[in-house]
DNA sequence: CCGCGGGTCCACCGAACGGTGGAGGCGCGC
DNA sequence: GCGCGCCTCCACCGTTCGGTGGACCCGCGG
């Protein structure tokens, strides 16, 4: 029997999750919490096996709570369940010790399977998260942009369209597009805006 | 008679500028330099009235050279002449003490007029630069994004399309577009990528 | 010598974005 | 009560972007 604690600031969401596990024989929801700090308390006092953790919450957020849990309740597995695959949340959450990362658009069955997997110490990631994570891990050789790619990204950050960047570097627009595609692949993003964001996060841009 | 010094790392560009001023009666090009440090020396030893300064150069760049000039040769006016309106260069250059900021696509006549204006201590800015600068100065009330606008920008930085951001905030796609338009206006940019860049530069994003 | 990575370029397509000019609702302060 | 800022939403349009699957050239090193 897996003892599950739900941490989410929305009562509606908590209700939905409780329902999801209501008639699952091997899982019992032993507690709930509306913010991170409360979640850590509940998980400890109720000896949770698995904690379903939302990330964006008022007060102590999910990442901080996850880190605290790993320290204070090492036996509890944290399964992140968040609304959007804000790529920026994935790494912090996993670094903080989350064992899995699902999106709230997951099917109930998937969620149940993921909780069981978490209970066994296995990792379950949403597909899009997996992809993003691979982009990160693929670092050796892939996390590093070539000089040209950095140049192009910098120009894009400075407001250049592809055409303008092409003029700036005295090359064709097609080459800019190719470079940007490579940048997207290496940074694990799908558009120029988030590529710029990643560029700043990784201190590639000024 | 205005004594002009040209600082640019490209000999071709220097040649073109020399030609531009060749038959201007009230301006004489008294010296050239290929990098910032050299430019400061020349401007001092040749008693320059105006220094045409490129920004991107190997070694001492234009911003550093401008700052050095303001200190060592306070009588010399620095007129920045750079290739692209990389918005990121405008503020540093002006903070460093440049009196004007032109783009290299300026017409020769505009350039000549700008040098004369610089000699008189007047400021000349390229139109797009002016706009960007106003976006900066318009800070009281305009440099500050509303909470909603910051939320939208953060989502965009995290890789959301307009549609995804709309779903995330439980509002319509049209509202996202409106918010983004306001963000563009306030930050003085024209697309989401450079909005994200500005967001990081102004420490609005994480 | 040949592979490989980096840089350059091509064509095509659907989708997304940016620009414009509106509109209404809400809360706040004067 | 009225104005104003903020948030929400609409339609239309041209442009740009992203995705795909190639292609060639060059320099370096095995």
User: pLDDT tier at A138 (50, 70, 90 boundaries)?
Assistant: very low
Q: What is the pLDDT of residue B110?
A: 86
CA quadruple A38, A40, A42, A44: dihedral sign: negative
Mean pLDDT across chain A: 84
Q: What is the pLDDT of residue B176?
A: 94
Chain A positions in Cβ-Cβ contact with residue B192 (cut-off 8 Å): 191-193
Cα first-last separation, chain B: 52
- Catalogue all structural domains in chain B, each as residue range(s) with its CATH number: 2-132 (3.40.50.2300), 140-201 (1.10.10.10)
* Residue A148: CB less than 7 A from any atom in strand C: yes
* A149: closest CA of chain B, how far (Å): 15
Strand C contacts (CB < 7 A) among A residues 171-190?
171-175, 177-179
Q: Which residues pair with B33 in a beta bridge?
A: B7
Strand C contacts (CB < 7 A) among B residues 157-176?
161-163
In this model, does residue A193 exceed pLDDT 80? yes
Three-class secondary structure assignment of chain A = CEEEEEECCCHHHHHHHHHHHHCCCCEEEEEEECCHHHHHHHHHHCCCCEEEECCCCCCCCHHHHHHHHHHHCCCCEEEEEECCCCHHHHHHHHHHCCCEEEECCCCHHHHHHHHHHHHCCCCCECHHHHHHHHHHHCHHHHCCCCHHHHHHHHHHHCCCCHHHHHHHHCCCHHHHHHHHHHHHHHHCCCCHHHHHHHHHHCCCCC
Question: What does the block give as tokens for B35?
Answer: 């990098």
Q: What is the pLDDT of residue B202?
A: 83
* B55: closest CA of chain A, how far (Å): 14
Q: What residues 159-198 of chain A have any CB closer than 8 A to a CB of chain B?
A: 159-161, 164, 168, 189-197
Q: Which of A94, A90, A85 shows the shortest CA–CA distance to A190? A: A85
Nearest to A86 among B158, B192, B193 (CB): B158
Task: Say if the Cβ atoms of A84 and B164 lie within 8 Å.
Answer: yes
Condensed to tens digits (0 to 9), the pLDDT of residues A37-46 reads: 999 999 999 9
Task: Say if the Cβ atoms of A88 and B190 lie within 8 Å.
Answer: no
User: Which ranges of chain B have pLDDT less than 70?
Assistant: 84-91, 95, 127-143
Sorted by sequence, the CB contacts under 8 Å of residue A151 that are 6+ apart come out as: A169
In this model, does residue A28 exceed pLDDT 90? yes
Chain A positions in Cβ-Cβ contact with residue B87 (cut-off 8 Å): 158-159
Mean pLDDT confidence for A18-24 = 92
Cα first-last separation, chain A: 52
Chain C bases closer than 7 angstroms to a protein Cβ = 6-11, 16-23
User: pLDDT tier at A127 (50, 70, 90 boundaries)?
Assistant: low
Question: For residue B190, what is the nearest residue in chain A, using CA coordinates?
Answer: A159
Q: What is the pLDDT of residue A6?
A: 95
Nearest to A197 among B86, B168, B196 (CB): B196
CA of A145, C1' of C16: distance in angstroms? 26
Minimum-distance nucleotide, CA of A173 to C1': C9
Task: Say if the Cβ atoms of A164 and B193 lie within 8 Å.
Answer: no
* Residue B190: CB less than 7 A from any atom in strand C: yes
CA of B135, C1' of D6: distance in angstroms? 20
User: pLDDT tier at A130 (50, 70, 90 boundaries)?
Assistant: low
* A199: closest CA of chain B, how far (Å): 9
Q: Which residues pair with B103 in a beta bridge?
A: B82
Condensed to tens digits (0 to 9), the pLDDT of residues B116-153 reads: 988 887 777 776 665 555 444 433 334 578 889 999 99
Where is pLDDT greater, at A144 or A102?
A102
* Residue B191: CB less than 7 A from any atom in strand D: yes
Chain A positions in Cβ-Cβ contact with residue B188 (cut-off 8 Å): none
User: pLDDT tier at A188 (50, 70, 90 boundaries)?
Assistant: confident
Q: What is the pLDDT of residue A161?
A: 93
Strand D contacts (CB < 7 A) among B residues 155-184?
166, 169, 171-175, 177-179
Q: What is the pLDDT of residue A105?
A: 75
Most confident listed range (A106-110, A134-138, B21-25):
B21-25
Q: What is the pLDDT of residue A132?
A: 57
Sheet strand arrangement including B2-7: B27-33, B2-7, B50-53, B77-82, B100-103
């Amino acid at each position: 029997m897996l003892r599950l604690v739900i941490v989410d600031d929305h009562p509606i969401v908590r209700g939905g999750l409780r329902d999801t596990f209501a008639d699952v024989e091997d899982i019992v929801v032993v507690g709930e919490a509306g913010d991170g700090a409360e979640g850590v308390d509940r998980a400890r006092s109720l000896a949770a096996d698995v904690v379903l953790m939302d990330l964006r919450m008022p007060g102590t957020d999910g990442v901080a709570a996850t880190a605290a849990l790993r320290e204070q309740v090492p036996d509890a597995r944290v399964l992140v369940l968040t609304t959007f695959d804000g790529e920026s949340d994935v790494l912090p959450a996993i670094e903080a010790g989350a064992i899995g990362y699902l999106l709230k658009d997951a099917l109930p069955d998937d969620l149940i399977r993921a909780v069981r997997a978490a209970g066994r110490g296995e990792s379950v990631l949403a597909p899009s998260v997996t992809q993003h994570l691979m982009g990160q891990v693929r670092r050796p050789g892939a996390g590093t942009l070539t000089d040209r790619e950095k140049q192009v990204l910098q120009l894009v950050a400075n407001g250049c369209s592809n055409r303008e960047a092409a003029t700036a570097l005295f090359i064709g627009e097609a080459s800019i597009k190719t470079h940007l595609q490579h940048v997207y692949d290496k940074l694990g993003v799908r558009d120029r805006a988030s590529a710029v964001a990643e560029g700043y996060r990784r201190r590639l841009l000024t």
